[in-house]
Structure 1
Amino acid sequence: MAEDGSAQSATTWPVPEFHFSVEISEVGTISCKEVSGLDIEFDVIEYRSGDMKEFTKIKMPGLRKSGDVTLKKAIFKDDKKLMDWLNTVKMNTIKRASVTVALLDESGSPVQSWKLTNAWPKKYTVEGFKADGNGVSMETIVLAHEGVTPA
């Protein structure tokens, strides 16, 4: 029998992906089109004790690691806060920030949040310009960090 949704609770439903906020401690709250790369992964340690009867290795969790987080946002007139933070990156000196990405409900309250620890801008890209285009000018910021944790 096909699911018609009649059994779904009136208070529980999936949260849409389009309502979120990004706050950077060194910059403030920024408006983004897209956030990607919020992942957590563990190294796998394979181990076999010398007195194990089985001819197999056991697998244990090792060090935790996270990939880079990418932010895509529109370029706004007179909005220089992100570029000012990017310009603080010099050889071996970085102004690190905490970044909070929050998925919001219809009232604007956080449903779930993720915090990036000691983030800094690793890469900055401006998408190309087209003389015959009518889209919004976009910039991409890749953040290196030391871990993603639920906030």
Structure 2
Amino acid sequence: MSYYPPVGFSFQVEFVDVSTSQGDNSFQSVSGLSVDLETEEITEGGENRFKHTIPVRSKYSNLVLKRGMLMDSEVINWCKKAVTNFEIQPSDINVMLLGEDGQTIQTWNIVRAYPVKWNVGDFNAEESKLVIETLELTYNYFKVS
């Protein structure tokens, strides 16, 4: 049997600690599921050929979620409280990649996420397109299961 990699257009986003209204878990794109290992260079006295590079910590990118603008969104209310009133209430978020049958193939559990940016797309009378809202979240780390 041949292996076919999963497609990236079938996914679901779940906010664990935020009450959600209809449509709050539907997004058109998710990005920022990446981690880098930060390193530090140490110079050793008497050794001029190279520097030692040692691992320091993991660094996670911000999670960016995009979708068509929703009216009466509990997730957006959660974002507004954070970015305008400094009422930070971290939430775990699950990003689930779904297979052809709608079953979860893999889950990224984002730990203690909170909003750092909320953006509403441009309005333009010369274009006929949806209004896109973008949520940018910072988080501690993610686990893959």
Superposition TM-score tier, normalisation by shorter sequence: 0.7 to 0.9
Which of the pair is proportionally richer in helix?
Answer: 2
Aligned runs of 1:21-40 on 2, under 5 Å?
A: 21-25=12-16, 26-28=18-20, 30-40=25-35
TM-score when normalising by structure 2: 0.83
SS of the counterpart of 2:75? helix
Gaps in structure 2 of 5+ consecutive residues: none
Q: Report the RMSD for the aligned CA atoms in angstroms.
A: 2.1
Per-residue deviation, residues 76-121 of structure 1 (Å, max 9, x unmatched) = 34x4212221133233x41100011111111112222212111011
> What is the distance in 2 between the residues matched to 1:48 and 1:80?
53
Count of aligned residue pairs for this structure pair: 139
TM-score when normalising by structure 1: 0.80
Give the letter aligned to residue 57 of structure 1. Answer: K
2:52 to 41, 50, 58: 58
Aligned runs of 1:1-151 on 2, under 5 Å?
A: 9-10=1-2, 12-25=3-16, 26-28=18-20, 30-47=25-42, 55-77=49-71, 79-89=72-82, 90-91=85-86, 93-151=87-145
Give, in angstroms, the shift of residue 50 of structure 1.
Answer: 5.5
> What is the distance in 2 between the residues matched to 1:134 and 1:124?
22
Give, in angstroms, the shift of residue 149 of structure 1.
Answer: 2.1
> What is the distance in 2 between the residues matched to 1:36 and 1:107?
23
Identity %: 26
Give the letter aligned to residue 66 of structure 2. Answer: K
> What is the distance in 2 between the residues matched to 1:116 and 1:61?
23
Larger CA Rg, structure 1 vs 2: 1
Gaps in structure 1 of 5+ consecutive residues: 1-8
